């Protein structure tokens, strides 16, 4: 692409960020807070990336993520820093049950050892196996799949009726293909450090009682979009350029980086010694035309789960009791949905009084073809499943919305090690270039915040 010098708006910054999703915005927020001049380029007309809250006829619903886990101090700190512009909402304790579908009905996922022993979800043999878990030898294979690890320590039924649905809920993924060390590093470390999940979790709880934040489920009062708006407000609109198309980055050697973009028909150019990308792996080679494409091969090959999300709003709920967080469906049960969340049960003001808001997920790594189905087919499939699974006598949703994500969740599979090495090599070969985002270091919102804080601190220290 060519940019005529007379039609070019020039910007200078200390740090350029590409992508204004949660990673990019959190980075910009902390870098600005440290006094650095930051400029964010975002392709879409709005900031927030996959986070978006919509409002219609008394329903407040999320497209993309619904909730996160307050699992690290950085995310707690972010909310504290943004208060009162954005208020953390913790999911209602009274609706924290997770349901698992088995043999034609929902069962509560056990939350303790005693419940695990009583539940019909696991076989008699595996319950004994679970009791013996602390005594089992620790694994030796750092590339062991999640299903391999779970079968070895807990048994097949635990894999099928606890881990498989849990992985559908987080990764929309397949535990046979995810590598524990990369996909669930905390679980991997638990076994490697303590030799056992159960024993390790107990010891960790005792040892870290004071330091570890409670792993509560969070959203934001009024919707997750309010987190985006609070970040935007603090960063300053003038530091975020939305609607930036045809972005391309040129490497300038010691001088850093130059980015070109077209915004509303006019050309923009910015230079900075540091450039941070937060975009998906598949889009990286085109963003950096001056870097040989082969250098991105091991990164761009990252696979993503395709997810279809259906939001349903019922003015009068007539189905089964949904005072729970949601329900997950094991792949073995061969239903058409991965799971369903009940946001109006655990968050306030998401549906009119007496009504209900449901967020249904389909597709994922096991059914990528659902992504290509028409809305009518998707909605019919969801209707059949929801009526049956929620025991609904009649079905009259006032709100029916379909959202598709081609690159919803990256899958940390066997190629993760080579991808992480390639990211390291690129960052070493091109000083000042940082590859952030969910291509590494976690897929959840809390992971995104933790990574952004880590990088912002490193950038500030290097100034």
- Residue 244 as a binder of ligand FAD (CB under 6 A): the answer is yes
Residue 396 CB burial class (10 angstroms; 0-12, 13-18, ≥19):
exposed
Distance in Å, CB of 445 to ligand FAD, minimum: 4
**For ligand FAD, which is the closer residue by CB, 18 or 198?**
18
The whole-angstrom distance between residue 375's C-alpha and the CA centroid of its chain comes to 24
- Residue 324 as a binder of ligand FAD (CB under 6 A): the answer is no
Torsions phi, psi for 215 (to 5 deg)? -85, 65
- Residue 165 as a binder of ligand FAD (CB under 6 A): the answer is no
Pick the stretch among 18-26, 52-60, 195-203, 288-296 that binds ligand FAD (CB under 6 A).
Answer: 18-26
- Residue 315 as a binder of ligand FAD (CB under 6 A): the answer is no
The span from the CA of 148 to the CA of 349, in Å, is 42
Residues 45 to 84 in contact with ligand FAD, rule: CB under 6 A: 49-51, 64-68
- Of residues 27, 29, 38, 42, which one binds ligand FAD by CB under 6 A? 42
Q: Would you say 445 and 68 are in contact if contact means Cβ atoms under 8 Å apart? A: yes
- Of residues 3, 11, 37, 43, which one binds ligand FAD by CB under 6 A? 43
Pick the stretch among 40-48, 116-124, 342-350, 362-370 that binds ligand FAD (CB under 6 A).
Answer: 40-48
The span from the CA of 31 to the CA of 119, in Å, is 49
Residues 117 to 146 in contact with ligand FAD, rule: CB under 6 A: none
Number of residues that bind ligand FAD (CB under 6 A): 36
- Residue 27 as a binder of ligand FAD (CB under 6 A): the answer is no
Distance in Å, CB of 307 to ligand FAD, minimum: 5
- Residue 226 as a binder of ligand FAD (CB under 6 A): the answer is no
Distance in Å, CB of 135 to ligand FAD, minimum: 34
Least Cα distance to 385 among 106, 167, 107 occurs for 106
Distance in Å, CB of 393 to ligand FAD, minimum: 30
Residues 379 to 408 in contact with ligand FAD, rule: CB under 6 A: 405, 408
What angle (nearest 5°) sits at the alpha carbon of residue 166, between those of residues 182 and 409?
55
- Residue 88 as a binder of ligand FAD (CB under 6 A): the answer is no
Three-class SS state of 275 = strand
Q: String of b and e for 232-266 (b: at least 16 CB within 10 Å)?
A: bebbeeebbbbebeebebebeeeebbbbbbebeee
Distance in Å, CB of 367 to ligand FAD, minimum: 15
The span from the CA of 244 to the CA of 270, in Å, is 12
- Residue 24 as a binder of ligand FAD (CB under 6 A): the answer is yes
CB atoms within 10 A of CB 272: 24
Does an H or E element contain 24, and which?
Answer: helix 22-33
- Residue 285 as a binder of ligand FAD (CB under 6 A): the answer is no
How far apart are the two ends of the chain, measured CA to CA in Å? 32
CB atoms within 10 A of CB 321: 11
- Residue 198 as a binder of ligand FAD (CB under 6 A): the answer is no
Residues 6+ apart with CB under 8 A from 194: 200, 203, 204
- Of residues 444, 453, 455, 456, which one binds ligand FAD by CB under 6 A? 444
Binding site for ligand FAD (CB under 6 A): 18-24, 41-44, 49-51, 64-68, 244, 247, 278-279, 283, 287, 307, 309, 405, 408-409, 437-438, 443-445, 448
């Amino acid at each position: 692409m060519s940019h005529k010098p007379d039609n070019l708006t020039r910007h200078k910054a200390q740090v350029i960020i590409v992508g204004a999703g949660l990673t990019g915005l959190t980075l910009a927020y902390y870098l600005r807070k440290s006094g650095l001049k930051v400029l964010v380029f975002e392709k879409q007309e709005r900031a927030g990336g996959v986070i978006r809250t919509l409002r219609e006829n008394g329903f407040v619903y999320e497209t993309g993520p619904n909730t996160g886990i307050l699992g690290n101090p950085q995310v707690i700190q972010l909310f504290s820093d943004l208060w009162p512009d954005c208020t953390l909402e913790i999911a209602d304790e009274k609706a924290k049950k997770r349901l698992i579908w088995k043999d034609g009905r929902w069962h509560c996922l056990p939350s303790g050892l005693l419940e695990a022993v009583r539940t019909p979800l696991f076989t008699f043999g595996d319950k004994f196996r679970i009791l013996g878990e602390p005594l089992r030898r620790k694994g030796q294979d750092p590339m062991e799949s999640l299903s391999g690890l779970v079968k070895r320590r807990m048994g097949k039924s635990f894999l099928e009726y606890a881990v498989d649905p849990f992985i559908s809920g987080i990764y929309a993924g397949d535990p046979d293909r995810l590598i524990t060390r990369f996909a669930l590093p905390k679980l991997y470390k638990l076994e490697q450090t303590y030799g056992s999940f159960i024993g390790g979790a107990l010891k960790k709880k005792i040892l870290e009682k004071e330091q570890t934040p409670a792993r509560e489920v969070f959203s934001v009062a009024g919707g997750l979009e309010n987190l985006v708006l609070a970040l935007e407000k603090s960063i300053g609109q003038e530091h975020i350029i939305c609607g930036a198309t045809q972005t391309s980055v040129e490497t300038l050697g010691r001088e850093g980086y130059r980015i070109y973009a077209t915004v509303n028909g006019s050309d923009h150019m910015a230079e900075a010694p540091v450039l941070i990308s937060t975009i998906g792996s598949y889009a990286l080679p085109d963003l950096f035309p001056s870097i040989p494409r082969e250098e991105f091969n091991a990164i761009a090959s990252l696979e993503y789960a395709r997810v279809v999300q259906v939001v349903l709003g019922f003015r009068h709920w007539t189905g089964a009791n949904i005072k729970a967080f949601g329900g997950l469906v094991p792949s073995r049960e061969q239903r058409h949905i991965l799971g369903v969340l009940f946001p109006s049960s655990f968050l306030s003001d998401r549906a009119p009084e007496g009504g209900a808001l449901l967020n249904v997920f389909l597709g994922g790594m096991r059914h990528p073809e659902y992504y290509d189905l028409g809305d009518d087919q998707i909605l019919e499939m969801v209707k059949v499943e929801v009526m049956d699974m929620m025991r609904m006598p009649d079905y009259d949703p006032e709100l029916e919305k379909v959202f598709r994500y081609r690159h919803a969740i990256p899958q940390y599979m066997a190629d993760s090690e080579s991808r992480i090495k390639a990211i390291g090599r690129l960052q070493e070969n091109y000083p000042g270039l940082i590859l952030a985002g969910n291509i590494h270091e976690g897929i959840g919102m809390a992971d995104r915040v933790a990574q952004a804080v880590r990088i912002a601190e490193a950038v500030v220290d290097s100034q």
